[in-house]
Structure 1
């Protein structure tokens, strides 16, 4: 694509897809979900404003860190209509999720540090997890992970899980 094409105020779905690295089908999905907008030409073809590139990048990064689409939509609804979002706009959005992201980081660190021992699965290693899930008592609470949200204290001063 030539440099002149990137100076255009509007992009076709193909151009937006190429520039953002997101499939055209994903762009259409984002539009159906109210995350991005387009206008229709007289020939019923979609055209996206250039600032949609930033929105798509924001959506993709947010998804990569596990933010649900409903929260992404709510955040994008805070951006101004009709003008390119400023750095301050993006900084305001990022502060909305800081606590949640810090909590996720803490949980991921805990998972990483306990991955070879006890991960709070409830328990996938029934034969070796006599401390946290003796005789599979957690299975009585139902299927799946039972204690992932509880901080397990499997330090070197205690028996390992």
Structure 2
């Protein structure tokens, strides 16, 4: 009878994963419930993780720190192969999708930095400059919120 090769190599316990990543075991279980990591079970029912799951958990931590949602992270991780350990090329391909989002966020933050002390197109009409930059609340036609910081131009 052939044994499951994943069981034979034992994998890492949730405690070992916690030690290696710095995540609480409850956080690791939460990520499992969310479908972000997929531990296997030993013959005795213990949860075990492949070493590749360390990189997945690190990716999750970094992505959340950058403000990405669990749904966005799940979507990205779904592009990794399930039948083998992801390669550097796999991770590079996955990160390219995040690069576009990060570039857009950087651009938005730079715009915010440049415009924060001036008109941001929010429709408040409270600054004396508003009559120059946003006469008659012209930004309102573009939608609600700080339109110019969100990428609209005052033209």
What TM-score do you get using the length of structure 1 for normalisation?
0.71
How many angstroms apart in 2 are the aligned matches of 1:24 and 1:122? 47
Which residue pairs with 1:156 in the alignment? none
Which residue pairs with 2:6 in the alignment? none
Residue segments in structure 2 that go unaligned for 5+ positions in a row: 1-8
Q: How many residues align?
A: 144
Q: RMSD of the TM alignment (CA)?
A: 3.0
Higher helix share: 2
Residue segments in structure 1 that go unaligned for 5+ positions in a row: 1-7, 154-161
Which residue pairs with 1:126 in the alignment? 126
What TM-score do you get using the length of structure 2 for normalisation?
0.73
Using the TM superposition, name which of 8-17 and 46-55 deviates more: 8-17
In structure 2, the residue corresponding to 1:97 is in which secondary structure? helix
Residue 9 of structure 1 deviates from its aligned partner by 5.4
When residues 129 and 40 of structure 1 are mapped into structure 2, their CA distance, relative to the original with a 3 A threshold, is: farther
Q: Deviations over 1:128-150 (max 9, x none)?
A: 563356687878x99x7342423
Residue 35 of structure 1 deviates from its aligned partner by 0.7
When residues 61 and 9 of structure 1 are mapped into structure 2, their CA distance, relative to the original with a 3 A threshold, is: farther
How many angstroms apart in 1 are the aligned matches of 2:25 and 2:120? 39
